[in-house]
Amino acid sequence: MSAYTEVTMDSGRRIAAGDYEIDHKTDVLVIGGSLAGAWAALAAARTGARVVLAEKGWMGTAGVVAAASVGGYYALPDDPAQREGVITVRHQESRGLDDLGYVERVYDQSYRSFTELREAGFASARLGAFPGPDSMAFLRRQLLAAKVKILDHSPALELLQTADGAVAGAAGIQRKSGEAWRVRAGAVVLATGGNAFLSGAQGTNGLTGDGYLMGAEAGARLQGMEFSGHYGLTPAEGSCTKGGMYFSGHIYDDAGERLDPLPSWFAVPNVARTLLSGGKAWVVLDKAAPAQHDTHRRQSPNFYQYFSRRGVDPFRQRWPVKLTYEGTVRAAGGLLVDEGCATGVPGLYAAGDVTDRCRLTGAFLSGAGPAVAWCVASGEWAGQGAAAFARALGTGAHARQVKGAGACGLRPGGDGASKGPGGRETIARVQEEILPLEKNFFRDGKKMTASLARLDALWAAASTDLAAAGPRELLKAREAAALAASARWIYRAALARTESRGLHRRSDFPEEDPAQRHHLVLSGVDEIRIARREALPA
């Protein structure tokens, strides 16, 4: 009998009861193995800490960076003009919610990190460029050389906490064997990415808000969740949301009228209006000079494979596009962290897209340059901070008594007899409220209130009844819980912000309100609380 068959029937009950087939002890546990998680693990290991990295997929091919070539912003130490340009490049679109001093700090750190990466032998066309899977394969080799233990195909399902609330590890399942695992740690870094709600956007299938749920269950807060209305331009039958490619072209409606007085993501609202009215949107990349075509194809091969398979010349022929929800992956909201990427819960740090990025790009999207810079900068700070926290605990770190913090989808509050929807049905119901353009692009108070009522009822049913025994079903149940929780946070914050600002667009409040230049901080999972935090002076 295989190991998977032996454990498949009781993985949920075993984890809920604190019974594990695999048990590790380490100084720092990093959950998530894309760019932010890899850099956090390396930063912690450089301090001499023992590090374990747990990845939902296979570290090296999982995540958005592995799926597409990306490039990060950085500030040159001796070029004032370049520094000024990169620090302020998204300042106007931030709508008064960024912090330029913090932006400068992030881009100074990303320059140091990118330079360190190049000195380690990483070859790329330019500083800060990450050519897809090659980048992550290089980082995997660096992790192994640094003696980081990598747990592939090992999604974390919950954090472990001590009696006084400190985070002291995590537990999850091994997807191939079905075994339950636990890692006892001095400190934990969440680097699980954002939440695209299983929309189909390339590289986001594993990005289901797991870190939001685990962090909030442990007591972490969230910020900027209302700035989550980002839909990426995608070929009509494709999945690649490489928005930068559209800067090389023009966007039209069926009648041939231009939809892009401003390029790429600035044209997205016009595309949304066209699609919502029943029309189609079309793109041709006719700004690119013929001599640049091959360069474009090499820089973003996944984007151009779509056209190669269909025999389309995207530089000369128009092709239809759609809008695919990217949620918080390229937007702003996430777990609130301080200057050292600590969440405020002792022993819990966070890095990358799982965190709030409002200080970096305000109400606007963080995708591309800022996001990549933030992954390495926050990874550096979170890894160092977690290592220092673990080191301060001394030899008693693993002697602490812990219990699992997970609830919905893992430890239901009912009588154990499943009466509500299962994991897959729960996910489908959440998607019905969050993915459609007509509900979540141009938001409306009445529609959001109705969606939130359905989501609250779904959450109540899931909290009482949603659970699973087998590992596949258990993972799906926890993903369903994370999606439902994320949708509730998004709409709670969106209802509280009675204006339009950045990626938060309300048809019933279409204007920006100067009196609402503040941040909304959310806490709680079952009962969601909202606090107002003032932005820095303009």
Mean pLDDT of 506-533: 96
Mean pLDDT of 164-188: 95
Mean pLDDT of 152-180: 95
Q: What are the structural domain ranges in the chain?
A: 3-227+328-404, 230-327, 426-534
Look up tokens 């090296």; give the residue. Answer: 60
Mean pLDDT of 84-107: 94
CB atoms within 10 A of CB 436: 14
Pairing relationship of beta strands 222-223 and 518-523 according to DSSP bridges: antiparallel
Q: Of how many residues is the chain composed?
A: 538
pLDDT band at 330 (very low <50, low <70, confident <90, very high): confident
Q: Which CATH number fits domain 426-534: 1.20.58.100, 1.10.3720.10, 1.10.580.10, 3.30.110.40?
A: 1.20.58.100
Region of poorest pLDDT, from 107-121, 173-187, 235-249, 315-329: 235-249
Question: Computed from CA positions of residues 234, 240, 241, 244, in that sequence, does the dihedral angle turn out positive or negative?
Answer: negative
Look up tokens 């640094």; give the residue. Answer: 146
Is residue 320 scored above 60 in pLDDT?
yes
Tell me, yes or no, if the pTM score tops 0.75: yes
- Six token digits for residue 341: 């990427």
Mean pLDDT of 123-131: 83
Is residue 88 scored above 70 in pLDDT?
yes
SS3 510: coil
Rounded Cα distance, 466 and 295, in Å: 50
Rounded Cα distance, 192 and 151, in Å: 14
Average pLDDT over all residues of the chain: 90
Strand order from edge to edge, sheet including 529-534: 334-335, 222-223, 518-523, 529-534
Same CATH fold, 426-534 and 3-227+328-404?
Answer: no
CB atoms within 10 A of CB 483: 30
Q: Which CATH class is domain 3-227+328-404?
A: alpha beta
- Please enumerate in sequence order all residues whose Cβ is within 8 A of that of 405, keeping only pairs 6 or more positions apart, or say none: 158, 159, 160, 161, 214, 217, 218
Mean pLDDT of 145-165: 97
Q: What does the DSSP 8-state code read for residue 154?
A: -
Residue 418: per-residue pLDDT: 57
For 357-399, write each residue's pLDDT tens digit. 999 999 998 888 899 999 999 999 999 999 999 999 998 889 8
Residue 249: per-residue pLDDT: 84
Please indicate whether residue 250 or residue 457 has the higher confidence score (pLDDT): 457
Residue 417: per-residue pLDDT: 55
Residue 6: per-residue pLDDT: 40
pLDDT band at 305 (very low <50, low <70, confident <90, very high): confident
Rounded Cα distance, 36 and 115, in Å: 16
Task: Give backbone dihedrals phi and psi of 233, rounded to 5 degrees, phi first.
Answer: -65, 130
Residue 415: per-residue pLDDT: 59
Here the contacts of 73-78 (C-beta below 8 Å, separation 24 or greater) are 73/107, 73/110, 73/128, 73/369, 73/370, 73/372, 73/373, 74/107, 74/108, 74/110, 74/111, 74/114, 74/127, 74/128, 74/373, 75/104, 75/107, 75/108, 75/110, 75/111, 76/111, 77/108, 77/111
- Identify whether the C-beta of residue 322 lies closer than 8 Å to the C-beta of residue 328: no
- Exposure string over 134-159, b if 16+ CB within 10 A, otherwise e: ebbebbbebbeeeebbbbbbbbbbbb
Pairing relationship of beta strands 51-54 and 529-534 according to DSSP bridges: unpaired
Region of poorest pLDDT, from 26-30, 408-412, 475-479, 517-521: 408-412
Rounded Cα distance, 538 and 530, in Å: 23
CB atoms within 10 A of CB 162: 15
SS3 399: helix
Beta strands in 372-506 (DSSP E): 403-404
- Identify whether the C-beta of residue 358 lies closer than 8 Å to the C-beta of residue 234: no
Mean pLDDT of 258-277: 85
Q: Which CATH number fits domain 230-327: 3.90.700.10, 3.30.200.20, 1.10.1200.10, 3.40.50.300?
A: 3.90.700.10
38, 189, 382, 388 from 43: Cα distances, Å: 9, 11, 8, 11
Is residue 232 scored above 50 in pLDDT?
yes
